[in-house]
Amino acid sequence: MFLGLDSSTQSLSALVIDPATACIVCERTVNFGKDLPHYGSPSGFLPGGTDGVVHADPRMWLEALDLLLARLAEATDLSQIAMISGSGQQHGTVYLDETFPQRLGDPRGDSLVERFAPAFTRATSPIWMDTSTGAECREIAEAAGGNAEVCRRSGSIAVERFSGPQIRRFFKTEPEAYEKTGCIHLVSSFLASVLAGREAAIDYGDGAGMNLMNLESLAWDPVLLDATAPGLVEKLPTLGATTDVIGPISGYFTRKYGFSETCRCANFTGDNPASLVGMGSTRPGNIVISLGTSDTFFAAMPGPLTDPHGYGHVFGNPAGGFMSLICFRNGSLAREALRDAEGLDWSAFDADALGETRDAAGANIMLPFYGPEITPRHDFTGPVSKGSDDFESDAALRVRALLEGQFLNMRLHSRWMGLRHERIRLTGGASQNDGIARMAADVFQAPVERLAVSNSAALGAALIAAAAAGHDLPAMQKQFCLTTDQRKIAPDASLEFVYNEALGKFEDLLRETMG
C-alpha cells in the first residue's frame, strides 16, 4: 500500500491506496484551526499580520503530522505501507539552523515539535498568502536584468509569495538569523525530510515556485541566487525529480506508529503539481480548476510558454515536462466572506439557489476581491461592483455575481495558455458544491467533470509514492482518477453569448478600477 500526505493551507490529510485492488483503503485529516486551536490559526495561518505579512507556525505542521499518523495508525495497519510521498502548500519556507541534520538523524523523543522546535531560526514561516515582498521583488528583478529575464530563467516574474523574495526579506530584516540559518526548506521538502530522517531534495514541481530554479537546467540559477541573498546556495537542499526515493522512513515513525523498517519515502511536491497527478491530468488535454483556500487553474503544458503579462507560472510536472498555473488569492476565503457577511450558508451557492437568479446571468459585474489579489495584482480592500438597482439589497444576486466574477477573472487571465476549454476537471473543497460546479461550466462553456475522490492532492501524492516504487502511473490514473456520469455537468449553451459579453464588461470594470 502507498501513503499520500497533503499539507495544505488549512489541513493535513492522508490517503492510503492499494493499486493491486484499485482501492482507497483509508483517508484521515487534521484541520489546523479545529484540531490544533492552541496555534491561534483558525484558517491555517496567523491572523492580523500587517503590511501583507501572512505567516504560519511550522510547529503546527509538525504537531499535525504526529496527530494525523496517530489517527491513521488506529484506522489501518501502517506496516503495510511500502512508500510514502506527499505535497505541501507551495512557496512557504521553513528556516533551520545547523543542528537540523543531526536532529533528523535522531529518532528518539515523544514528539516532533519537541525535537525540531529549537532548530527554527525564523519562528514563523511565510506562506503563499503573504504579499509583503513588493520591494524585494523589484530588487531581485533589477539585479537579475528585469522581470522578463527572471521569467525566462525561472518560469515566473519575481512574485511576492514566491520563496526567493520571501528569503530576501528575511535576509534584509533579520540578517543575524539569516546568517544562523543552515538550511531553508519548502513546506513539502521539510515534511519529507522529517519523515525520512534525512535532508530531502526539493522537487522540480515545487522548486519552480521559488524564483530560484532555472527551468532549462533544472538547477539553482546562479544569477537568481545572487540577486536574492548572499550565500544562499549553501542553505538550499538539492533539486530532484518528484519520484526520486529519499530513503527508508525514520525510526521515530516505525517505533511510534508501526511503519515497517522497509517502508521508504519519495520526494514530496507542491499541492498543485500533486493535484495534476491526482486529477489524472499529467498529459495535455484537461484543464484543472482547484477551488481550495486559493483557486488555481492549471494544465500540463504541450510546449514551453510563459505568461507575457506576468501572472502565470510554469512549474515542473511530476510526470515529466511542465505544467502552467495561475493562482487566485480570493478563492474560498472570498466565498466565505460573502456567505458570512450576508448570514448565509453554502445552500445559497447550490444549484437550486443559483437557478432562481438565472435570469440575472451576466447582468451584475463584480470584481470578487475581499482582500489583496495576486491575479490581477492589486491591493483591493473589498469587492467592486456595477449592478442593477436591486443588486445591493439582494444577497442572491451578489452570490451569483461573486461566482461569475471569480470564473470570468479566471477566463481572462488564462488566455495566455492558449488552451481550448474542451474539458474542465474540478477539485478542491468548493468543487463539491453543484451550484459552483455548474457556474464553472457555464462561464467557461465547457463540460465540467469531478472525480470520485475529492482530495486530489493527497491522491496524487499516493500515486507518486506508488510510481516511485515502480508502478505504472498512467495505468494507476485509469484506475483511481475516475469520473462518474452523475458528476459531469454540461454547460448551458444559451449562456455563451451572455458570458462572452460579461467578460468584456468585467475587463472594463477591472481597467477602470485599477487605473
- Nearest approach, Cβ of residue 141 and ligand ADP (Å): 29
Residue 272 partner contact from ligand XUL, ligand ADP, none using kind-dependent CB cut-offs of 5 to 8 Å? ligand XUL
Closest CB to ligand XUL among 270 and 429? Answer: 270
What sign for the dihedral angle of Cα 246, 283, 409, 392? negative
Cα 160 off chain centre by:
15
Q: Return the residue of 59, 115, 161, 438 that touches ligand XUL, per CB under 6 A.
A: 161
Q: Checking DSSP bridges between strand 55-56 and strand 125-126, what pairing results, if any?
A: antiparallel
Which CB atom, from 185 or from 329, has the smaller least distance to ligand ADP? 329
Check: CB of residue 4 under 8 Å from CB of residue 460: yes
Choices 226-234, 239-247, 266-274, 499-507; region in contact with ligand XUL by CB under 6 A: 266-274
Indicate the burial class of 217 (C-beta count within 10 angstroms; 0-12, 13-18, 19 or more).
exposed
Q: Which does 429 bind (CB under 5 to 8 A by kind): ligand XUL, ligand ADP, none?
A: ligand ADP
Report the 10 Å Cβ neighbour count for 508.
12
Q: Of 29, 163, 294, 414, which one interacts with ligand XUL (CB under 6 A)?
A: 294
**Among residues 56 and 266, whose Cβ is nearest to ligand XUL?**
56
* Binding range to ligand XUL, per CB under 6 A, among 65-73, 133-141, 196-204, 291-299: 291-299
CB of 20 to ligand XUL, least distance (A): 31
Of 91, 153, 400, 413, the one binding ligand XUL (CB under 6 A) is 91
Which of 113, 353 has the CB closer to ligand ADP? 353
| 425 membership: H or E segment, kind and range | strand 424-427
Q: Is residue 154 close enough to count as binding ligand XUL by CB under 6 A?
A: no
Q: Are 30 and 36 in contact (CB under 8 A)?
A: yes
271 is a site residue for ligand XUL (CB under 6 A): yes
- Residue 386, helix vs strand vs coil: strand
**Which residue bears the cell 521508504?**
264
332 binds, among ligand ADP, ligand XUL, none (CB under 5 to 8 A by kind): ligand ADP
Binding site for ligand ADP (CB under 6 A): 8-11, 292-293, 332, 335-336, 346, 349, 428-430, 432-433, 436
| Chosen from ligand ADP, ligand XUL, none, partner binding at 398 (C-beta under 5 to 8 Å by type) | none
CB atoms within 10 A of CB 73: 17
User: Are residues 509 and 384 in contact, defined by beta-carbon separation less than 8 angstroms?
Assistant: yes
Residue number closest to ligand ADP, CB atom: 429
Q: Is 466 in the site for ligand XUL (CB under 6 A)?
A: no
Q: In 3D, which of 275, 252, 222, 229 has the Cα closest to residue 459? A: 275
Please report where in the chains the cell 526539493 appears, as a residue: 202
DSSP assignment of 262-323: T-EEEPPEEHHHHHHHHTT-SSTT-EEEEESSSEEEEEE-SS----TTS--EEEE-TTSSEE
Contact 74, 120 (CB under 8 A): no
Partner whose footprint covers residue 432, from ligand XUL, ligand ADP, none (CB < 5 to 8 Å by kind) = ligand ADP
Q: Is the dihedral of CA 264, 3, 333, 63 positive or negative?
A: negative
Site of grid cell 510546449:
303
In one-letter notation, the amino acid at residue 341 is A
Q: Which is nearer to ligand ADP, 349 or 444 (CB)?
A: 349
Q: Is 297 in the site for ligand XUL (CB under 6 A)?
A: no
Between 383 and 429, name the residue whose CB sits nearer to ligand XUL. Answer: 429
117-140 b/e with 16+ CB inside 10 Å = b?
bebbbbebbbbbbbbbbbebbebb
What would you report as the CA-atom Rg of the chain, rounded to the nearest whole angstrom?
A: 22
Closer residue to ligand XUL (CB): 91 or 413: 91
- Cβ distance to ligand XUL smaller for residue 60 or 325: 325
Which residue lies nearer to ligand XUL by CB, 7 or 181?
Answer: 7
> Which of 272, 317, 364, 385: binder of ligand XUL (CB under 6 A)?
272
State which residue, 401 or 510, has the beta carbon closest to ligand ADP.
401
Chain contacts with ligand XUL (rule: CB under 6 A): 8-9, 89-91, 128, 161, 209, 270-272, 292, 294, 296, 325, 327
